[in-house]
Chains A and B, each alone.
Chain A
Amino acid sequence: MPVAWLPVLLGLFLTGAADAARLDIELGRIEHAAFTAENVRVTLNLVQATGTLSIARFSALGRVWADLRLHCSEFAVAAASIECGRGTLTLPGSRETLDVQFAYDPDAGTARAQVRSAAGELVRAGLASSGEFRAVLSDVAIGRFAEVMPQLAEWQAQGRLNAQIDYRPDPSARITASGRLHGGGFSSADGLQAAEGLGIEFDVRGMFREGGWDWGGRLAWGEGEAYLHPIYLAAGPVLEAEGRLQGDRLTLGNAKLALEGVDAIEARGDFELDPLRVRRAAISVGGADLGRIGPDFIAPVLAPARAATLRFAGTVGGAAAFVEDRLVGLDLSFDDAAVAMDDVDVGFGPLNGRLPWRADSPTDIDIAVGGGHWQQLTLGAFALAARVEGLSIEVPRLAVPVLDGRLILGDLALRRIAAGWTGRGNATIEPVSMALLAEAVGLPPMSGVLSASLPGLRVDPGELALDGTLVVSVFDGYLRATNLRWLEPFGVASHLFVDVEARSLDLTQLTDAFAFGSITGRLDADVRGLELARWRPVRFAAELRSSPGRYPRRISQRAVQNIGALGGPGAAMAIQRGFLGFFETFGYSEIGLSCVLRDGVCAMDGIPGARPGTPGDGFVIVRGGGIPALNVIGYNRRVDWDELLERLQRVIATNVPPVIE
């Protein structure tokens, strides 16, 4: 861009004889590539060698200042130059004055100036006859630039700038600026975008070509911290970028961000600046260490509520594409990645594979999962193959090995809505050995298998429902669970509803497994409306009774004592103790016990319709039969559930022979 000084001398006149010591010079309009000054007037006091420069209107960098006034205590006008020493510049609308010195040679087209504030800020500038311009800024508050960049005031920008700015007009206009911002900071009104203590070194350049600026530069963030909602960042990143600015259109040709924990981050894009809009943009991330970037960048964005409990490992790479402010494509690749949620004790990994996503067309996910765990259960390797379209995902079949069986999810179709995920599918559990399952979850050894056919799997925000049946073949009988509903599965109110039906359980195996003494016989049970909160029963209506049919029915001394012990001191069983001391086992004809748990209290009853034949409000739990026979009668109809569990655990844990009085 050609630079031309065009001082136009509009008038030069001496005032009247009485004011012969005063000289008014009207310079009119001065134009430069960087600024325009209008109605420039110089008033000289020839006796005192002082002068005053006033500018009615000064335009630069798109802004206008009116009524600038500079008084020079030492003013000299030579044949070819004007010099101002010990000048004081008064800015309109401000009480602040700035110390100014300058020298200007209109013929040569050269100038030099120095401006210093009371706070120690210093700007030195020089203009060469070639049109080259240099400014050196020392500790200049960036708030000074709010006049030309109103955003600085909106963002409460702080900091001081040390920089050198060079402008060269020929052959093409070039600007370079390098320096350092220190003590920098900014904040949005709500504090969600903010930085403090910033120290940034910069080196930028621009060249004017064909109506726009080719630009490039480097920013190295060496000090300070920032919060760019929802991500907290500490100093360290270095940005190198180049592109073109033409009018309001900014092209980012290539940008590279160096960030600890990531091999490479690159971006390109095309933006409109007023208002800010992404026309097209792409960003790629290569070799990101999930252990480093997961807690800082992924967890706060994807799951802020669980950020403290999420654990990451492995490597991820990816690319994202944006068109018209919209994410249109995303490609992620995982290399031995792993993720775990500590609070619910779930984890998967290593994960290897690709996750592509397009806003307007379906894509296929193919990820190999090396394994996982859910609480104490170890999950085997499986492949996740799914089709993704928009915010929907379809999984035709997912087979997850669980011990020696498999959990198979089929025809799973999920869709993301504002409140969460919703969808349908089905689930099957291929037989899992109860021996292995019991060992894995720390239950006593038991034989049998667990399997399930759940044709109606339904997912809604805060709810997982399973229509169908889960069957556990155990203790030579079976347990059947139906109407499974898991509510708020990952929240503090995680609770599970299920109806359980048990049939023909072999009591010998059952009581042996739990070291409860020995009962020979078979048991049926119905537990309706069982509600488990964090895997602890909080509500149910349970009924246990002897299975119908003919089979040996004996109960050991220890089992009788343990049943009695469960009632607690105030709920002693009415045991025919005289008999108890003589025999190891006793015959019985029927066992029956019911418990309705509400609000931490178990309302108990015994065999329906059985009368204890003793005074008080007793209920028959074991009705004797055969020889020798005994009845076990309960008297405490309301038992604190936690206390009952504690006693049961104690009975099983102590596992000592009962003392018969």
Chain B
Amino acid sequence: MNAPKQIRAALGAVLMCFALFAAAQGDLEINTPAIAAIKQSMQARHAQLGPLFASGAIGLSRDGNVAVRDASGVPLAQRAQVNALISSENADRAALYREIARANGRPDWESDVRATFAQRWIDRAPAGWWVQRNGGWSQK
């Protein structure tokens, strides 16, 4: 699969994740303005993250975040920006998990939401992406 196809697949995966998550959880509320804002922010950022996922510089971690796997292929001067990008993405993801829990009136579900999403992100990741499982990084 070439890079553009991977990115398209990844974008699809992001969107699918929300739908699948809702389906898996029955009548879970995921359609609030806040969640929509977070989704929009994440989708906008994916244009920058997609090539980094495809190259293996970053991967999906088992805690529902994005993490650096091997930044060697990224020019040194851009590694701080990659870190900033990942921090922004993880801040959005943390807000997403909190918001889904809040939107359903169960803020205490946040860790469950995070765990479920983490598994979904990994399951739905396109071929070639790196994901973190119990044994460490592996390529899908």
- Residues of A participating in the B interface, judged by any CB pair closer than 8 Å: 187, 189-192, 194-196, 225-227, 229-232, 300, 304-305, 307-308, 419, 461-462, 487-488, 491-493, 495, 531, 533-534, 538-539
Contacts and interface: CB of A to CB of B under 8 A. Distances in A.
A580 to B, nearest CB: 39
Contacts of B72: 187, 190-191, 194
Given A231-B80, A304-B86, 9 more contacts: A191-B72, A232-B80, A305-B91, A308-B84, A462-B95, A491-B95, A492-B38, A534-B37, A539-B33
B98 A227 contact: no
A487 B35 CA distance: 12
B34 A190 contact: no
Given A190-B70, A495-B34, A533-B33, A227 B76 contact: yes
Contacts, number: 99
Contact of B80 (A194, A230, A462, A533): A230
Contacts of B87: 304-305
A231 B76 CA distance: 10
- Give the interface centre of A196, A488, A493 by most chain B CB atoms within 10 Å: A493
B92 interface: yes
B138 to A, nearest CB: 15
Contact of B76 (A196, A488, A495, A533): A196
B68 A307 contact: no
B76 A493 contact: no
B34 A533 contact: yes
Nearest to B57: A191
A304 B84 contact: yes
A461 B108 CA distance: 12
A488 B99 contact: yes
A533 B74 CA distance: 36
Contacts of A487: 34, 99, 102
21 contacts: A190-B68, A190-B69, A190-B70, A190-B71, A191-B72, A192-B68, A192-B71, A225-B77, A230-B83, A232-B79, A300-B83, A304-B84, A305-B90, A462-B95, A462-B98, A491-B91, A491-B95, A492-B92, A493-B38, A533-B33, A539-B33
B130 to A, nearest CB: 11
Contact of B92 (A491, A534, A539): A491
B80 A305 contact: no
Nearest to A233: B76
B104 interface: no
Contacts of B116: none
Nearest to B83: A230
Contacts of B88: 305
A229 B83 contact: yes
A488 B77 contact: no
A422 B45 CA distance: 29
A20 to B, nearest CB: 61
Contact of A191 (B40, B41, B74, B95): B74
A153 to B, nearest CB: 16
- Give the interface centre of B35, B70, B90, B96 by most chain A CB atoms within 10 Å: B70
B94 interface: yes
Nearest to A187: B72
Nearest to B44: A492
Nearest to A534: B37
A462 to B, nearest CB: 5
B79 A227 contact: yes
A305 B87 CA distance: 5
Contacts of A227: 71, 76-77, 79-80
B94 A462 contact: yes
Contacts of A194: 71-72, 76, 79
Contact of A300 (B38, B80, B102): B80
A191 B79 contact: yes
A301 to B, nearest CB: 10
Nearest to A492: B41
Nearest to A532: B33
B95 A488 contact: yes
A419 B38 CA distance: 18
A196 B77 CA distance: 10
The 6 A-B residue pairs with the shortest CB-CB distance, nearest first, are A191-B71, A305-B87, A191-B72, A538-B33, A493-B34, A304-B87
B76 A232 contact: yes
B105 to A, nearest CB: 13
B61 to A, nearest CB: 13
Interface in B57-72: 57, 68-72
A305 B99 contact: no
A532 B40 CA distance: 17
A419 B64 CA distance: 14
Contacts of A232: 76-77, 79-80
Interface in B9-65: 33-35, 37-38, 40-41, 57
B98 A461 contact: yes
Contact of B95 (A190, A226, A492, A534): A492
Contact of A492 (B37, B71, B77, B90): B37
Contacts of B41: 492-493
Nearest to B90: A305
